[in-house]
């Protein structure tokens, strides 16, 4: 993640940046580091299957494609973030996905965190994602 992006927008947004999606090397590591229940892996795996993505226990996150990593990270955060009004800034996330997966990811945000506002980063700054359906 660009520290400039985080410094500039991190106060007002939960920033999800493709340049630094994970701290751990596996999804299990990430779940442990975030203090979540181990059962979360199954929930994320079930969600990933909607995208045609099969998670494997112990697989290095870096071995997934950029788009797959974006999906995994977003789904993980959707399950962990509070279900309240949030502003989420996607930095180069939507650009990594096919049209189908982009729409599906935005639909999952709407279903799992319905009160969140989703933004994408442009050269002019954050812009809201609207009318994605």
Confidence bin at 41 (pLDDT 50/70/90): very high
Q: What's the pLDDT score for residue 79?
A: 93
Q: What is the mean pLDDT of the chain?
A: 90
Task: Please list the residues that pair with 125 across neighbouring strands.
Answer: 122
Nearest to 107 by CA among 50, 64, 40, 54: 50
Domains contained in the chain, CATH given:
3-128 (3.40.50.300)
- pLDDT > 90: what percent of the chain? 68
Q: What is the pTM of this model?
A: 0.90
Tell me which H or E stretch contains 32: helix 27-33
The pLDDT, as a whole number, for residue 111 is: 94
Exposed e or buried b for every residue in 90-127, given b needs 16+ CB within 10 A?
A: bbbbbebbeeebbebbbebbeebbeebbbbbbeeeebe
pLDDT of residue 3: 62
Q: Give Cβ neighbours of residue 87 (< 8 Å, ≥ 6 apart).
A: 12, 13, 14, 116, 117, 119, 126
Residues 60-73 have a mean pLDDT of: 96
Q: Is the pLDDT of residue 1 over 50?
A: no
pLDDT tens figures, 71-119: 999 999 999 988 888 999 999 999 999 999 999 999 999 999 999 999 9
Give the span between the Cα atoms of 91 and 3, in whole angstroms: 12
Tokens of 112: 């799992």
pLDDT of residue 133: 43
Q: Rounded CA gap, 122 and 66, in Å?
A: 19
Pair of tokens at residue 48: 């990933």
């Amino acid at each position: 993640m660009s520290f400039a992006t985080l410094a500039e927008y991190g106060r007002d947004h939960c920033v999800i940046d493709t340049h630094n999606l994970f701290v751990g090397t596996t999804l299990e590591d990430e779940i442990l580091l975030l203090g979540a229940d181990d059962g979360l892996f199954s929930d994320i795996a079930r969600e990933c299957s909607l995208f045609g993505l099969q998670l494997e226990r112990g697989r290095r996150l870096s071995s997934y494609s950029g788009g797959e990593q974006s999906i995994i990270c977003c789904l993980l955060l959707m399950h962990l973030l509070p279900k309240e009004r949030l502003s989420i800034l996607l930095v180069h996330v939507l650009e990594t996905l096919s049209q189908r997966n982009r729409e599906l990811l935005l639909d999952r945000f709407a279903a799992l965190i319905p009160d969140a506002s989703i933004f994408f980063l442009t050269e002019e700054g954050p812009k809201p994602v609207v009318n994605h359906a």
